[in-house]
Amino acid sequence: MPEFKKKTALGLRDLPENGQECTHVLLTHSEYDALLAKVACAERDARSVYTAASQKIAQAERNSAQAKEAAYAEVNAVQKDLEEACRKIEYLNGLNKNLLRIARERANADRKLRPKKTHTGYVVLTSSEKEYRYKTMRKENAVAGLWETALQSPYSVDFTEEQARALTEELVQPNENGETIVGRIGIDTYYHGSYEDLLHDQRRNARQEKSRNIMLKPKLRANYKTGYWEVIFLHTKPLGLVPEDMRARNQ
């Protein structure tokens, strides 16, 4: 059952029920998963309404020459459905963000990451030099000195692979200041592909790329010992100085 809490100067105080005093709600993993399932189902329903509504609008517009007044009435009705669907999607997105925030704060608290409310939840586990073998455009064997870094995410292994893959895309997404999470550890730019793809990409400025630490397409690993999803990726140069708050602690 959800636990209702009120934030006080001494911490979180238990409440007997949800009410105006309630500032926090704690959920179990199973309750959280159930809410995620409801959100996903509602989003699918909303998308279905949106698709059906768009099709009705198109059909109504085609028939408008023969039944202009009726078509206008249909468009208005469908528009109301669209507005309702958009409101529902906006509400569900807000609910999902709130649930993800709670999950991240729990993960930060479990791993003693501070401040738990604002920490991204990502920490560096390892970063090691690696000989990467690949084939050139002439199909010849070649070796490049790359680096491989593993990050622990704030998302537990109770998240599905699909959910974890979508959520960890935030690593390379700029915030309102144009900064990325991986940028804090010395990654300059991101390339959504392999090292071979990077070398053969004619759109890239090879001279400029030599001075950059380029992150390549990451892979996921579920670590059932620690209980969290990990993100592993290759990059072209060693990491910069990793901030203290992004260094993994003993768990």
74 vs 182: which has the higher pLDDT = 182
State how beta strands 11-15 and 123-135 pair.
unpaired
Mean pLDDT of 90-108: 76
Q: Is residue 118 part of a domain?
A: no
On whether both 80 and 159 belong to a single domain, the answer is no
On whether both 106 and 159 belong to a single domain, the answer is no
Residue 180 pLDDT > 90 = yes
Q: Is residue 16 part of a domain?
A: yes
pLDDT for 4 equals 62
On whether both 157 and 54 belong to a single domain, the answer is no
On whether both 79 and 18 belong to a single domain, the answer is yes
Of 63-72, 206-215, 225-234, the range with the highest mean pLDDT is 225-234
Residue 102: closest CA among 37, 156, 175: 156
Q: Which of 85, 110, 135 is the C-terminal boundary of a domain?
A: 110
192 vs 92: which has the higher pLDDT = 192
On whether both 90 and 142 belong to a single domain, the answer is no
On whether both 88 and 129 belong to a single domain, the answer is no
Residue 187 pLDDT > 60 = yes
pLDDT for 181 equals 97
As a whole number of angstroms, the distance between CA 103 and CA 112 comes to 14
On whether both 191 and 94 belong to a single domain, the answer is no
Q: Which of 110, 144, 166 is the C-terminal boundary of a domain?
A: 110
Q: Is residue 96 part of a domain?
A: yes
pLDDT for 92 equals 55
How many domains are there within the chain?
A: 2
On whether both 143 and 106 belong to a single domain, the answer is no
On whether both 105 and 167 belong to a single domain, the answer is no
Q: Is residue 117 part of a domain?
A: no
CATH number for 139: 3.30.200
pLDDT for 62 equals 75
Q: Which of 89, 110, 131 is the C-terminal boundary of a domain?
A: 110
The parent domain of residue 136 ranges over 123-246
Q: Is residue 87 part of a domain?
A: yes
Under the phi-then-psi rule, with left for phi > 0, alpha for psi from -120 to 50, and beta for the rest, what region is 51?
alpha
Q: Is residue 30 part of a domain?
A: yes
Percentage of residues in the chain having pLDDT higher than 70 = 82
8 Å CB contact between 200 and 138 = no
Residue 219's identity, in one-letter code, is K
Read off the pTM. 0.63
On whether both 92 and 206 belong to a single domain, the answer is no
pLDDT for 41 equals 86
pLDDT digits (tens, 9 = 90+) for 139-173: 889 999 999 999 999 999 999 999 999 999 999 99
Residues in contact with 16: Cβ distance below 8 Å, sequence separation at least 6, in sequence order: 4
pLDDT digits (tens, 9 = 90+) for 107-135: 999 999 999 899 999 999 999 999 999 88
8 Å CB contact between 236 and 147 = yes
On whether both 240 and 132 belong to a single domain, the answer is yes
pLDDT for 49 equals 83
Q: Is residue 115 part of a domain?
A: no
Q: Is residue 251 part of a domain?
A: no
On whether both 140 and 240 belong to a single domain, the answer is yes
Compute φ and ψ for 194, nearest 5 degrees: -90, 175
